[in-house]
Amino acid sequence: MYDMSDTQPVDDWATDYDIFDADYITDPTAVWGELRERCPIAHTERRQSSFLPTRYEDVQALAKMVPELSSADPLVVPLPEAVRNDPVFQEYGANSPPITSDPPDHTWTRRLLLPHFSPKVIDAHRDFTERRCNDLIDRFIDDGEGDAAGDYAQQIPAAVIANLLGVDETRVDEFTFWVRNVLEFGLSEPELRVKYRDVIRDFFRAEVADRQENPRDDLISHLLAATDPDGNPIKPETVVGMCNLQLVAGIDTTWSSIGSALWHLATHPDDRHRLAAEPDLMPTALEEFLRFYSPVTMARVLTEEVEYNGVKMCPGDKVIMNFPGANHDPEAFEEPERFIIDRARNRHIAFGSGIHRCAGSNLARLEMDVAISTWMERIPEFEIIDPEDVTWAGGQVRGPRRVRVRF
Ligand code: HEM
């Protein structure tokens, strides 16, 4: 049906775009700029028929077109056959509610999660996050160099999510490895994606079974004790899906944001010096990191024919929710290609738009704030050792994967 090894160079971005193109992953902004002028909703038949909106207004409008644009299959690559044929998929669908659900299931599964992500609840994770960041820096600060992505950014979110879910924090390297195999390497290798999806689910099936026997004060136990709108207990497999989402939604995303921010500061001395001298700039800097380096791209699948702005989309087509591209639209942001550390007006949609807007945004902001502030306090001066050695991942979640710096 599709070939992820498809490395045909792009001839025309309007009619045959490729979000896995290596140059696009490194810097997609020029492509978005060209498309916004020439063909604001691009199309491709690569892998499967899909559309790429590039304007802020269009991405927002399409994100709100529910249920014609469904979240049943929100990854940017086609669903592997092995998943379609899986009995759990046939009964529960992609089952990572609420991100894979449409209303009405989306409404109640999201409502169950939100109280656990309120600013007050999330703030209780601040001390833990600070300790984690300091411990990580202790491991390499005396070496005078380290990998800001691999040794630091990558090591933070998995530990925080484990703490939040109440699962074994010593297994964070495994969690990160599993999630990368689903969201990063698994995008081009469906067998990996299916294998590690099952590994994560089996892990949570055991955790859920354990909480059924021994409930405690953690998110998994609270979800198991909750009921659906008909007053029935939530099915354990649904709780497994919701936990799976916490891991998958909370790790690569936040790590990519922290990594991009540190990469930016390493390569932009003016912003680095300003942030070190004026730490009160962090709130606007953080939003600008989110806008400029928005890590998350999602997808929707058409359930019926839709014509939008003269573009006809058919059932089964995908629409790429290009939140990163929207955040660089000059119609919505003044000088969008300039990183403005104290940008006052910044209505970015890095956390999405519409009913699926990120439920974990308070946690993501807290982790970014603590991670970047702690780094800047302890390592205010740092630079990239070798720009050629920096690697970026893209597709579903964009961010640097290796950023070796000296200080
Ligand atoms: C910088 C880090 C993050 C970014 C940029 C981000 C971005 C996003 C985006 C764009 C969506 C919308 C998905 C869609 O429209 O289909 C989303 C949804 C979601 N995110 Fe995040 N996210 C981040 C971190 C987190 C964290 C730490 C968690 C919590 C563990 C989390 C939990 C969720 C959940 C549960 C949803 C689904 C909401 C729904 O479907 O109603 N995210 N996120």
**Helix runs in 81-189, H state only:** 81-84, 87-92, 105-113, 119-123, 126-140, 157-165, 172-183, 185-188
Q: Do residues 173 and 182 make contact, with C-beta atoms less than 8 angstroms apart?
A: no
Q: Which residues contact 30 (CB under 8 A, 6 or more apart)?
A: none
pLDDT of residue 6: 56
Number of domains in the chain: 1
Give a yes or no: residue 16 inside a domain.
no
Instruction: Report, in this order, helix, strand and coil percent for the chain, each rounded to 5.
Output: 55, 10, 35
**Span 47-80, pLDDT tens digits:** 899 999 999 999 999 999 999 999 999 988 887 7
How many whole angstroms from 144 Cα to the centroid of ligand 1? 35
**Helix runs in 214-251, H state only:** 219-225, 236-250
Give a yes or no: residue 11 inside a domain.
no
For residues 377-401, average pLDDT: 95
Q: 20-24, 85-89, 312-316, 379-383 — which is least confidently predicted?
A: 85-89
Residue with the smallest CA separation from ligand 1 atom 40 is 99
Give a yes or no: residue 1 inside a domain.
no
Residue 194 has pLDDT above 90, yes or no: no
Torsion of CA 406, 130, 219, 97, to 10 degrees: -40
List residues near ligand 1 (CB under 6 A). 71, 74, 98-99, 110, 113, 161, 245-246, 249-250, 253-254, 257, 295-296, 298, 321, 323, 350-352, 356, 358-360, 363-364
How many whole angstroms from 350 Cα to the centroid of ligand 1? 9
Split at pLDDT 50, 70, 90, the class of 3 is very low
Give a yes or no: residue 8 inside a domain.
no
**Span 318-356, pLDDT tens digits:** 999 999 999 999 999 999 999 999 999 999 999 999 999
Residue 89 has pLDDT above 50, yes or no: yes
403 SS3 class: coil
For residues 31-44, average pLDDT: 97
Place of tokens 């929710």: 321
**Span 140-192, pLDDT tens digits:** 999 999 999 999 999 999 999 998 888 988 888 899 999 888 888 888 888 88
For residues 105-110, average pLDDT: 96
| Ligand 1 pocket mutation, candidates 76, 165, 253, criterion most atoms within 8 A of CB | 253
For residues 362-388, average pLDDT: 98
Give a yes or no: residue 392 inside a domain.
yes
pLDDT of residue 80: 76
CATH number, residue 267: 1.10.630.10
Ligand 1 atom with the shortest distance to the CA of 74: 16
Ligand 1 atom with the shortest distance to the CA of 97: 40
**Span 114-138, pLDDT tens digits:** 999 999 999 999 999 999 999 999 9
Give a yes or no: residue 3 inside a domain.
no
Split at pLDDT 50, 70, 90, the class of 90 is confident
Higher-pLDDT residue of 368 and 187 is 368
53 SS3 class: strand
Q: Which domain holds residue 388?
A: 22-406
Ligand 1 atom with the shortest distance to the CA of 161: 30
Strand partners, 393: 399
Residue with the smallest CA separation from ligand 1 atom 6 is 351
Q: HEC states along 291-360?
A: HHCCCECEEEEECCCEEECCEEECCCCEEEECHHHHCCCCCCCCCCCCCCCCCCCCCCCCCCCHHHCCCC
Gap between the Cα atoms of 297 and 282, Å rounded: 25
Residue 5 has pLDDT above 60, yes or no: no
Average pLDDT over all residues of the chain = 93
Helix 190-213 vs helix 172-183: angle between axes, to the nearest 10 degrees?
A: 140
- Max CA distance (Å), the chain: 60
Give a yes or no: residue 80 inside a domain.
yes
Give a yes or no: residue 106 inside a domain.
yes
Residue 275 has pLDDT above 60, yes or no: yes
Torsion of CA 81, 84, 86, 87, to 10 degrees: -160
Split at pLDDT 50, 70, 90, the class of 388 is very high
Residues in the chain: 407
pLDDT of residue 2: 38
Residue with the smallest CA separation from ligand 1 atom 29 is 360
pLDDT of residue 380: 98
373 φ/ψ sector (left φ>0, alpha ψ -120 to 50, else beta): alpha
How many whole angstroms from 251 Cα to the centroid of ligand 1? 10
Residue with the smallest CA separation from ligand 1 atom 21 is 358
- Closest by CA to 186, choosing from 248, 100, 237, 255, is 248
How many whole angstroms from 12 Cα to the centroid of ligand 1? 32
Gap between the Cα atoms of 25 and 16, Å rounded: 16
Residue with the smallest CA separation from ligand 1 atom 43 is 358
| Ligand 1 pocket mutation, candidates 118, 358, 366, criterion most atoms within 8 A of CB | 358
**Span 6-18, pLDDT tens digits:** 568 999 999 999 9
How many whole angstroms from 384 Cα to the centroid of ligand 1? 30
How many whole angstroms from 194 Cα to the centroid of ligand 1? 21
Strand partners, 134: none
Residue 1 has pLDDT above 60, yes or no: no
113 φ/ψ sector (left φ>0, alpha ψ -120 to 50, else beta): alpha
Q: What is the DSSP letter of 141?
A: G
